[in-house]
Amino acid sequence: MCLILLSIGLLLCSGVVSLLAGSNGKPANIFGAGGAILGCLGGVVPATWILLTGKSEEIRWAWSVPYGSFSMRVDSLSALFLIPIFILCGLSALYGFEYMNAARNRKSLGRFWFFFNTLAAGMAVVAIAANGILFLMAWEIMALSSFFLVTFDNEDKSVQRAGWIYLTATHLGTAFLLVLFLLLGHQCGAGLLDFDLFLAARSHMAPMANVIFILAVIGFGAKAGFIPFHVWLPEAHPAAPSPVSAVMSGVMIKTGIYGLLRTLSFLENPAPWWGWLLIGVGLVSGILGVLFALAQHDLKRLLAYHSVENIGIITLGLGLGLLGVSMKSPALAVFGFGGGLLHVVNHALFKGLLFLGAGSVQHATGTRAIDRLGGLIKQMPWTAATFLIGAVAISGLPPLNGFISEFLIYAGAFHAVGEPHVAAAGAVVILALALIGGLAAACFTKAFGIVFLGLPRSAEAAHVHEAGWAMRIPTLVLAAGCILVALFAPKMVMLTTRAVGIITMLPASSIESSVSFAVGPMSSIVLVAGLFALIAVLSACVRHGILSGRTVEQTCTWDCGYVRPAASMQYTASSFAQPLTKMFEALLRPKVKLGKPDGLFPGAACFHSETGDLFTRSVYRPLFAGVELLASRLRFLQAGRVQLYILYIALTLLILLIWNLK
Amino acid sequence: MNTCSLALPLLALLLAPLLTGIINRTKALMAGRTGQPLLQLYFDLAKLLMKGAVYSKTTSLVFRAGPVIGLAAAITALLLLPMGRVAAPVSFPGDFILLAYLLGVMRFFTVIAALDTGSAFEGMGASREVQFSALAEPALLLGLAAAAQAGRVVMPAGVSEPGGLVSLSSTYCRLSTAVWMHSGPALFLVAGALLVVFLAENSRIPFDDPNTHLELTMIHEVMVLDHSGPDFAMILYGSSLKIWIIGALLSGIVVPVKTGNQLLDAGLIIIGLFVLAIVTGMIESTMARLRLLRVPQLLVSAGLLSMLALGLIFWS
């Protein structure tokens, strides 16, 4: 605990030092990144220790703020979120050390590192806070520092817009959380907001449990990116500098999942419809997330939509787990929550990796437009290899870590199919996961294939350089992480299921006996994965043996006998995704600009499609337009005369006094 | 695990190319031709393995890794495939998920190897492949879930199998004539869904025509246009293993006979596979391929059949 606090302190201090050194780029960069790396290293060790031993530690100090004490607590659930936070923040800081260097003369790096380190510290405090006020303070620090990071390039109009959307969305979410914590405090009687008291008063929560649950789903869902609260994600993530996108997408949105799980631990006897609601949210987020990702032409926007999809997968797991708790089926609870939690960790690894890879691509080519890239694997083999590992992992394919967590959720769904009352839920989850898996594979063959393979589609993509070591090492570490999690799958599943007891409060013995159902298949999966690797290596050797000594020629790609294929003749990302986007046109509603070739000697033709967000267009824009209209009607109140304002104040006071007289 | 289990993958490795021969022979007979020898694919593979290779200058290591990883995934998937009451060499609850996803790995690497050539034709084939397989996946997994449940209704398991998470081996071990008597309609629907998945995943008519000569209309064949020599042999062999794998899943459901002798049961299922190859040949001779726009509809309806089968089992 002390070590964790120390490293959070180090993060904050190095941020301030970096801010003070801000006018000079280099020291700011060194202090900021160095402090972040050291702080995160210092934090990851004790967090891992707590997860491995399964113990929990806490501190409690009195403070002058009302509503309880300054208390913090690290248990297995916190540790599961703390470890990815520290790992990804540390690696992104190392990456940012080189990545941000390019902006040294343009911008104050001190400001960047101050907010980056504050964001890391804020997230860590969110995961360990054991008091409502402390939690909300850390939550706000996290939201504000990430807002300033998103708007790093604040002279860009689109970045400004993204920043405002993010700020609005996160604060609307926080409004729900305020009510949530006040309700929790009210229900446990004393009006104090300490988490221990919430836990002790679990049985008194029942009358308001449904309201609390809904508030948590909306408030935390806005941060996590549940559809329809996801609209800020595809705006903010591409706008932010790449190390920040990696941190935001990899771990920051997971604090929403953490908050939801922590709230669930305060409520007992969940109603079955809670599980159904989460499954519904997961289904919609997962499928729409991946469909919108398919239709994007901007690499980072595509990845941002994929975060929505992965949050959907996590939510499907949580929904199954919740159904398991309400149906008194510990095995289902272990599969669902265990799978969801492991996917939280896995997504941090591969999404961090993919965003950093996309950052390297942007760094090298200056563009994020997928259709302007191509053939990067030749000049950037390291980035390509790690991006490929991330792509295979995020598609949920064996033998990498994405498969392990998706397998657990699948296993929960198949388990549910065989049990009364939850069979339909199981079938829905199987359907959703299978469809999402296929579409994710389509999306990532597109992202990897068009960006890294084939011929360069533009001059920017033709003259590139591989990223430097400071940018390469983090991606290599994350890629290794994807492999290691899969290699030690039985141990990983064992560790994540520890947190299930904290969320569900099921008796330890029933969880213990169900964990074996989750861990059992893992050793076989690792065995098969090992055999797969062995067979692949053997086949490669056989192929090498056969081809050695034979003539191996180089020629151009087959194009029906046309011998001068050009880069512009290649399939593009838009054409690759076209059959699928066409199929789901009713949902995606892309805006298409088409200039058809005509005449006997047609001139230039053009095709351009853009897929905006369904909910931004059809829900939020009309909603906010309505609010603006209403506000403009009330503008007459604000006439600019001080006397009038004093009258308003006096009137308000009068009304309040009369109210009190009653 | 016993020696019979170990023999299963070996048998598959040996016999899989024969299925393609049977399909082609059936088509030839239906068209009134003599047709190629039954062992033609073996000859082709031997010939290709003797050759050198030609690579496009555009390609990278990914193009060379595609066939290797694809074949390795298919061989690994064989380790999870049971035949009747002969269990697979490796079996554990939920192994069918791994099997389906290993086929996914095969597809993923075939697709990126195709994109590596930078050819518009291969991009087009890759794009269609990912579209159709995304729709076939739910039908396959839900169909297997229904088959597993149908068996569990008649032969409930003990505490070792809580809920519906069973292994492929125990699913196929349970399927019997009694199960067909009990939930015949559901199993019939599952078989229908799996037949659609079988034809779609293996790029047969009515989804794809393996013999077409126009690049624009191909799906699977066009993705491997640029592969040559041993690489192409690996691809052809991998595809024939894939026919064997999905075919065996289907054959295991429609041949539920349990004679009492394990070997005889497995043999019956292999005969079922050969019959399936003949049926495929007949389908290919009597049907035209669907318009590409119609293909998703057929795949979605296969998914619905699986869903319906699952519903029927719960209902009864």
With beta carbons less than 8 A apart as the criterion, state whether A435 and A284 touch: no
Quote the tokens at residue A186.
């009210």
Angle between helix B120-154 and B229-254 (nearest 10):
30
Q: Residue A369 gets which letter from DSSP?
A: B
pLDDT in tens, A181-199: 999 988 887 778 888 888 8
Cα Rg of chain B (Å, integer): 19
Q: Do A575 and B73 touch (CB under 8 A)?
A: no
Number of helices and strands (H, E) in chain B?
11, 1
Q: What is the mean pLDDT of residues A548-567?
A: 81
Q: Do A454 and B58 touch (CB under 8 A)?
A: yes
Chain B residue with CA closest to A418: the answer is B164
Q: At A536, is the pLDDT very low, low, confident or very high (cuts 50, 70, 90)?
A: very high
Q: Which of A332, A435, A457, A532 to probe by mutation at the B interface, max B CB count within 10 Å?
A: A532
pLDDT (0 to 100) of residue A558: 79
Taking alpha carbons only, the member of B61, B46, B108 closest to residue B237 is B46
* Minimal Cβ distance to A583: which of B95, B105, B296: B296
pLDDT (0 to 100) of residue B160: 57
Q: Which of A387, A404, A511, A576 to probe by mutation at the B interface, max B CB count within 10 Å?
A: A576
CA atoms within 13 A on the CB side of B132: 29
Q: Cα separation of A507 and A504, whole Å?
A: 9
Q: Cα separation of B17 and B236, whole Å?
A: 9
Residue bearing the bigger pLDDT, A648 or A568 = A648
Quick check: helix, strand or coil at residue A595?
A: strand
Q: Which helix (H) or strand (E) holds A80?
A: helix A76-99
Tell me how close the Cα of A283 comes to any Cα of chain B, in angstroms. Answer: 14
Q: Cα separation of A658 and A649, whole Å?
A: 14
Amino acid making up residue A5: L
Q: Cα separation of A104 and A110, whole Å?
A: 10
Quote the tokens at residue B187.
């199993």
What value of ipTM does the predicted structure carry? Answer: 0.95
Q: Do A543 and B121 touch (CB under 8 A)?
A: no
pLDDT in tens, B132-164: 999 999 999 999 999 988 888 777 665 556 677
pLDDT (0 to 100) of residue B157: 60
Tell me how close the Cα of A330 comes to any Cα of chain B, in angstroms. Answer: 11
Strand partners, A555: B56
pLDDT (0 to 100) of residue A39: 93
pLDDT over 80 at A25, yes or no: no
Neighbours of A422 (CB within 10 A): 27
Q: Do B127 and A579 touch (CB under 8 A)?
A: yes
Q: How many domains does chain B have?
A: 1
pLDDT (0 to 100) of residue A373: 92
pLDDT over 60 at A50, yes or no: yes
Positive or negative, the Cα torsion across A609, A612, A614, A617? negative
Q: Which of B127, B142, B167, B201 to probe by mutation at the A interface, max A CB count within 10 Å?
A: B127
Tell me how close the Cα of A260 comes to any Cα of chain B, in angstroms. Answer: 27
* Beta pairing, strands A606-610 & A591-595: antiparallel
pLDDT (0 to 100) of residue B162: 64
With beta carbons less than 8 A apart as the criterion, state whether B99 and A409 touch: no
Q: Do B163 and A414 touch (CB under 8 A)?
A: yes
Chain B neighbors of A417, CB-CB under 8 A: 145, 149, 163-164, 310
* Minimal Cβ distance to A576: which of B67, B127, B141: B127
Quick check: helix, strand or coil at residue A129?
A: strand
Q: Do A434 and B138 touch (CB under 8 A)?
A: yes
Amino acid making up residue A159: V
Tell me how close the Cα of A453 comes to any Cα of chain B, in angstroms. Answer: 5
Q: Do A547 and B58 touch (CB under 8 A)?
A: no
Q: Do A580 and B117 touch (CB under 8 A)?
A: no
Positive or negative, the Cα torsion across B63, B64, B67, B69? negative
Q: What is the mean pLDDT of residues A239-255?
A: 95
Quote the tokens at residue A309.
């999809």
pLDDT, averaged across chain B:
90
- As to burial, measured by CB atoms within 10 angstroms (0-12 exposed, 13-18 middle, 19+ buried), residue B217 is middle
Chain B neighbors of A567, CB-CB under 8 A: 118
Alpha-carbon distances, residue A305 vs A233, A588, B30 (angstroms): 7, 13, 50
Q: Do A551 and B60 touch (CB under 8 A)?
A: no
Strand partners, A594: A607
pLDDT over 70 at A330, yes or no: yes
pLDDT over 80 at A269, yes or no: yes
Q: Do A431 and B142 touch (CB under 8 A)?
A: yes
Tell me how close the Cα of A282 comes to any Cα of chain B, in angstroms. Answer: 17
Taking alpha carbons only, the member of A492, A221, A531 closest to residue A399 is A531
Q: Cα separation of B266 and B256, whole Å?
A: 10
Tell me how close the Cα of A182 comes to any Cα of chain B, in angstroms. Answer: 40
Whose structure tokens read 């631990």? A265
pLDDT (0 to 100) of residue A234: 92
Chain B neighbors of A539, CB-CB under 8 A: 68, 71-72, 75, 234
Q: Do B145 and A552 touch (CB under 8 A)?
A: no
* Minimal Cβ distance to A418: which of B61, B115, B164: B164
* Minimal Cβ distance to A557: which of B58, B75, B76: B58
Q: At A93, is the pLDDT very low, low, confident or very high (cuts 50, 70, 90)?
A: very high
Q: Cα separation of A366 and A363, whole Å?
A: 6
Q: Do A539 and B117 touch (CB under 8 A)?
A: no
Tell me how close the Cα of B311 comes to any Cα of chain A, in angstroms. Answer: 8
Chain B neighbors of A556, CB-CB under 8 A: 56-58
Chain A residue with CA closest to B216: the answer is A560
Tell me how close the Cα of A434 comes to any Cα of chain B, in angstroms. Answer: 5
Q: Cα separation of A510 and A504, whole Å?
A: 11
Q: Do B105 and A397 touch (CB under 8 A)?
A: yes
Neighbours of B53 (CB within 10 A): 19
pLDDT over 80 at A480, yes or no: yes
Q: Do A558 and B225 touch (CB under 8 A)?
A: yes
Chain B residue with CA closest to A438: the answer is B134
In sequence order, the 6+-apart residues with CB closer than 8 A to the CB of B192 are: B302, B305
pLDDT over 80 at A474, yes or no: yes
With beta carbons less than 8 A apart as the criterion, state whether A451 and A373 touch: yes
Positive or negative, the Cα torsion across A254, A255, A258, A263? negative
Structural domain boundaries enclosing B186: 3-315
pLDDT (0 to 100) of residue A190: 73
Parts of chain B with a pLDDT under 70: 1, 156-162, 213, 316
Positive or negative, the Cα torsion across A67, A70, A75, A79? positive
Q: At A549, is the pLDDT very low, low, confident or very high (cuts 50, 70, 90)?
A: confident
DSSP letter for each residue of A180-191: HHHHHHHHTSS-
Q: Cα separation of A68 and A200, whole Å?
A: 14
Alpha-carbon distances, residue A556 vs A569, B54, B59, B199 (angstroms): 13, 9, 9, 33
* Beta pairing, strands B53-56 & A552-555: parallel
Percentage of residues in chain A with pLDDT exceeding 90? 63
Q: Which helix (H) or strand (E) holds A609?
A: strand A606-610
A to B CB pairs, distance under 8 Å = 278
First-to-last CA distance in chain B? 34
Chain A residue with CA closest to B238: the answer is A539
